[in-house]
Amino acid sequence: MRAVFPAIEPPAPARATTELLSAPVERLSLAGLRLLVVDDEPDARDLIATVLREAGAETREAASVEQANAEIAARVPDLLVSDIGMPARDGYSLIRTLRSTSSPNKT
């Protein structure tokens, strides 16, 4: 038995997609925001923090949930960027802890 299938070429990009991809992108500004980056991998943590700093954010870094908790106790960030797959206590654990200890006005 032999099957023959017609050749199918991928469609050309839609005009809207092409226009979207070629449109100028305004630079995102995070000026004035305090961010905490939590990741057990130093290279990933450094990369994320660098990109956020280049966008104007003030960043602090933590390599574990315990370090993140200490950073948060010292100064509450405006935004938390956390890896979820860390050893020992993961990012989900960090978020659960924050939600259970934060006041209703700080969500």
d(CA 39, CA 86): 7
pLDDT value, residue 101 = 84
CA nearest 71: which of 94, 48, 92? 94
Contact 62, 38 (CB under 8 A): yes
d(CA 51, CA 28): 11
pTM, two decimal places: 0.70
If pLDDT is split at 50, 70 and 90, which confidence band does 107 have? very low
pLDDT digits (tens, 9 = 90+) for 24-79: 556 678 999 999 999 999 999 999 999 999 999 999 999 999 999 999 999 999 99
